[in-house]
Chains A and B, each alone.
Chain A
Amino acid sequence: MSIITRLSRTGKHEKIEFVLKLVDRILAGDDIFDDRVLLMDTIEEMYRILRQLALNSKDENLLTAFEKMAILRYSLQTENVFDRKTLSDIKPFLLNTLKERSSTI
Chain B
Amino acid sequence: MLIKEALASVDAIQSPYIRAVTYARIGATLALAKNPLYEQAFKKAFDAAEEIDNPIEILKALLAIAFYLGKAKMKSSKKMFRQLADDIMILPKKTRDKLFRDLISYMLQLGEIDEAFYYSEYISNKKLKNEILVNILKEYLSTLVGEKIRIIYRIRKIELILEHISEEPYRSYAIAEIIKSYLKIGEYDRAILMIKELKSRYWLKQTVKEVLFYLKHKDLDKKYADRLLTVAIEISDNLAIDINEDLAVIFAINGDIAHSVEALSHVSDKEQKLIEIMKVLMERRPGTVIPYLQTLDPKDSEIASKAVLNYLIDNPSPEYSSIARYISEKIESEEVIVKAVQYYLKIGQVVEAARMTSRLKSRKLRSLALGDIAHYLLKNNKIGDALDLVMHVEDPKLSSVLISEILVKVIEDELKKEHRV
Contact = CB atoms under 8 A, between A and B. Distances in A.
B200 interface: yes
A32 B168 CA distance: 23
B213 A35 contact: yes
Chain A at the B interface: mostly helix, strand, loop or mixed? helix
Interface size class for chain A?
10 to 19
Interface in A66-102: none
Contact of B202 (A18, A25, A30, A38): A18
B213 A32 contact: yes
Given A14-B202, A15-B202, A41-B209, A21 B217 contact: no
Given A25-B176, A30-B180, A32-B180, A17 B214 contact: no
Contacts of B210: 32, 38
Contacts of A45: 202, 205-206
Given A32-B214, A37-B253, A41-B253, A18 B200 contact: yes
The number of chain B residues touching the other chain, given as a range, is 10 to 19
A14 B168 contact: yes
SS class, residues of chain B in contact with chain A: helix
Given A30-B180, A35-B217, A18 B253 contact: no
B254 to A, nearest CB: 8
A64 interface: no
Interface in B142-188: 168-169, 172-173, 176-177, 180, 183
A22 interface: yes
Nearest to B180: A32
A38 B253 CA distance: 10
Contacts of B172: 18, 21
Interface in B197-226: 200, 202-203, 205-206, 209-210, 213-214, 217
9 contacts: A14-B200, A14-B202, A17-B168, A18-B202, A21-B173, A30-B180, A37-B253, A42-B209, A45-B206
